[in-house]
């Protein structure tokens, strides 16, 4: 037990929890009983709040723990997180403003809502909603792994601390909705920036400079005969397709969309696309902690590489500052976990409950269903970690990235074109999912004792090519999806199969705040 660290961690954790409850009164809504208020924070966040919120949402505690762990274990490959988070913003900048506009004109809350209006197909919307929920659930569970790694390092074992932390989180998310993570994100991100800036200056100085840090890492990989501080001929394509595929997937995740739709207007989104890369710089620096851990001779607890960053902080920092660093990671888990559970809950209430259970649900009923669903989602995540091997959540999250990509043709391309037929999109989704599962099933990883689902790098030799080159499985699955969606659309048109009505007009994709078509805080049902 490390008393100083635990005391500092607990104090900061409690302060932040208090903020979570107070958040219900922040920016005073008249009434929290609608999804626009509970689920989207009043749809009124400006540039600063949006920056903290989306930054805290996308760059999760798990990322901060897992990326250095990957670098620690495999080297350069783990750095894919940097090009991934560089290419994503220019790529989605013009797409997201269209999503914002059409969502505000039609009062849409989830990506599946958009598909429902655009393609007039409840089935396709249901598929998109289920994909979103399934992809998000293990992601929430992973945030617990971030907290767990910190608790383990402080010597707190057993399940109780983890359960208490998540119970507090569940309670204030239930009460305050999206306002809670938005307010907490200020504290979380400030702490993370502080800790990393100190770490990146203080730790290399103690280890003899960055040059010797990299030399130590190179020596380790050379001795191990695997990994390396640069890419080799076989994993370059994997590096590029993984970065690109992950970038395509990022804003398809429902929790990313939640952050975007909560912003006040189109300018806020565009401005954030040039401000959010500050977090990418942070992530790049954090990634290098993996090499510092090698140079400092840090060993993980058991075989859990996710503990190397907490172990590094523990070994390098004085106790009180290690406590601050642990709090940063612990609190860092709360923000994304809250937003993800809100996003998953909104998918349930809008695209399953309202569509299939209670067609005439009032906004208040929708909000109530979402609040309860957010609790269920969190309980599920805790059970996942406690009852099943945490490795299972990591595997599921890997699968989650591949399956969320399969919503790209309906959600992403759908924002630009109505060319696709709903039948084609459904067929493409099914083919992409099947292909993705098949590819992932055939990836073995002896290092983690996996005969199947051992990673995302699919060896092309499995197709019979004489090569050691690997490619990101999600990328291949997406290609299958697109080909089938195109063929399916052509066939459906040739057969004169009925297509769903498009509830949107071209102008809806350009509307901005102040436009009469943009509902400010009206909560009527979407016009579909």
| Closest separation in Å from C-beta 215 to another protein | 9
| Closest separation in Å from C-beta 244 to another protein | 6
- List the helix and strand counts (H, then E) for the chain: 19, 2
List alpha helices for 356-421, DSSP H: 363-387, 390-404
- Two structure tokens written together for 365: 């009923």
Give whichever of 97 and 473 is closer to another protein, judged by the CB atom. 97
Give whole-number Cα distances, 85 to 173, 193, 241, 277, in Å.
28, 17, 13, 7
Q: Which residue in this structure is represented by tokens 């599962």?
A: 437
Give whichever of 294 and 377 is closer to another protein, judged by the CB atom. 294
Give whichever of 63 and 173 is closer to another protein, judged by the CB atom. 63
Instruction: Please list the residues that pair with 450 across neighbouring strands.
Output: 445
DSSP output for 430-470 = HHHHHHHHHHHHT--BGGGTBSSS--SEEEGGGGT-S---E
Instruction: Please list the residues that pair with 304 across neighbouring strands.
Output: 301
Cβ neighbours around 375 below 10 Å, total? 16
Instruction: Please list the residues that pair with 228 across neighbouring strands.
Output: 75
| Closest separation in Å from C-beta 81 to another protein | 10
Give whichever of 355 and 508 is closer to another protein, judged by the CB atom. 508
| 412: nearest Cα among 241, 244, 253, 242 | 253
Quick check: helix, strand or coil at residue 228? strand
| Closest separation in Å from C-beta 475 to another protein | 12
Residues that bind another protein (CB under 8 A): 76, 79, 82-83, 86-87, 89-91, 93-94, 97-98, 209-214, 229-231, 236, 239-240, 243-244, 265-267, 270-271, 273-275, 277, 280-281, 284, 288, 506-507, 509-515, 517
Q: Which residue in this structure is represented by tokens 């990101």?
A: 472
Spatial contact of 454 and 220, defined as CB atoms under 8 Å apart = no
Q: At 44, give phi and psi (nearest 5°).
A: -135, 15
| Closest separation in Å from C-beta 178 to another protein | 24
Spatial contact of 260 and 96, defined as CB atoms under 8 Å apart = yes
Give whichever of 285 and 483 is closer to another protein, judged by the CB atom. 285
Give whichever of 288 and 403 is closer to another protein, judged by the CB atom. 288
Q: At 512, give phi and psi (nearest 5°).
A: -135, 170
| Closest separation in Å from C-beta 186 to another protein | 22
Give whichever of 87 and 491 is closer to another protein, judged by the CB atom. 87
Give whichever of 317 and 475 is closer to another protein, judged by the CB atom. 475
Give whichever of 234 and 497 is closer to another protein, judged by the CB atom. 234
Give CA–CA dist 207/2, Å, rounded. 24
| Closest separation in Å from C-beta 402 to another protein | 19
| Closest separation in Å from C-beta 210 to another protein | 4
Give CA–CA dist 23/178, Å, rounded. 9
| Closest separation in Å from C-beta 234 to another protein | 12
Quick check: helix, strand or coil at residue 445? strand
| 282: nearest Cα among 389, 193, 408 | 193
């Amino acid at each position: 037990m490390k008393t100083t660290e635990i005391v500092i961690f607990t104090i900061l954790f409690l302060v932040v929890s208090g903020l979570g409850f107070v958040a219900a009164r922040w920016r005073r809504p008249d009434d929290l009983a609608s999804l626009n208020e509970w689920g989207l924070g009043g749809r009124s966040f400006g540039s600063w709040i949006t920056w903290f919120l989306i930054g805290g949402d996308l760059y999760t505690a798990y990322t901060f723990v897992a990326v250095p762990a990957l670098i620690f274990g495999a080297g350069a490959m783990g750095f894919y997180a940097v090009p991934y988070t560089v290419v994503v913003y220019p790529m989605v900048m013009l797409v997201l403003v269209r999503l914002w506009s059409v969502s505000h004109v039609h009062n849409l809350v989830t990506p599946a809502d958009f598909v429902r209006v655009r393609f007039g197909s409840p089935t396709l919307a249901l598929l998109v909603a289920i994909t979103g929920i399934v992809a998000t659930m293990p992601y929430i569970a992973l945030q617990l792994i971030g907290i767990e790694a910190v608790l383990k390092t402080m010597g707190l074992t057993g399940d109780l601390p983890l359960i208490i932390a998540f119970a507090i989180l569940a309670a204030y998310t239930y009460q305050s909705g999206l306002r809670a993570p938005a307010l907490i994100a200020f504290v979380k991100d400030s702490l993370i920036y502080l800790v990393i800036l100190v770490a990146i200056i203080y730790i290399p100085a103690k280890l003899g400079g960055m040059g010797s840090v990299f030399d130590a890492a190179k020596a380790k990989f050379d001795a191990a005969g695997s990994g390396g501080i640069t890419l080799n001929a076989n994993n370059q394509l994997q590096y590029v397709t993984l970065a690109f595929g992950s970038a395509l997937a990022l804003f398809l995740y429902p929790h990313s969309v939640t952050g975007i739709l909560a912003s006040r207007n189109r300018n806020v989104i565009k401005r954030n696309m040039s401000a959010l890369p500050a977090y990418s710089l942070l992530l790049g620096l954090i990634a290098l902690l993996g090499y510092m851990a090698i140079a400092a001779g840090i060993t993980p607890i058991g075989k859990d590489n996710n503990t190397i960053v907490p172990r590094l902080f523990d070994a390098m920092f004085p106790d009180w500052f290690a406590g601050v660093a642990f709090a940063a990671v612990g609190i860092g888990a709360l923000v994304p976990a809250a937003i993800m559970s809100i996003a998953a809950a909104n998918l349930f209430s809008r695209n399953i409950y309202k569509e299939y259970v209670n067609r005439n649900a009032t906004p208040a009923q929708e909000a109530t269903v979402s609040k309860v669903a957010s609790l269920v989602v969190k309980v599920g995540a805790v059970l996942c970690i406690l009852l099943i091997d945490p490795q299972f959540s990591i595997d599921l999250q890997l699968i989650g990235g591949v399956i969320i990509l399969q919503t790209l043709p309906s959600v992403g391309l759908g924002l630009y074109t109505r060319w696709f037929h709903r039948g084609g999109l459904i067929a493409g989704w099914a083919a992409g999912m099947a292909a993705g599962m098949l590819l992932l099933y055939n990836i073995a990883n002896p290092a983690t004792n996996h005969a199947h689902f051992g990673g995302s790098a699919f060896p092309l030799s499995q197709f019979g090519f004489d090569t050691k080159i690997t490619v990101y499985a999600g990328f291949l699955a997406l290609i299958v999806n697109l080909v089938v969606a195109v063929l399916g659309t052509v066939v459906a048109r040739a057969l004169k199969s009925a297509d769903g009505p498009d509830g949107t007009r071209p102008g809806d994709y350009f509307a901005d705040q102040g436009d009469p078509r943009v509902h400010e805080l009206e909560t009527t049902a979407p016009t579909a």
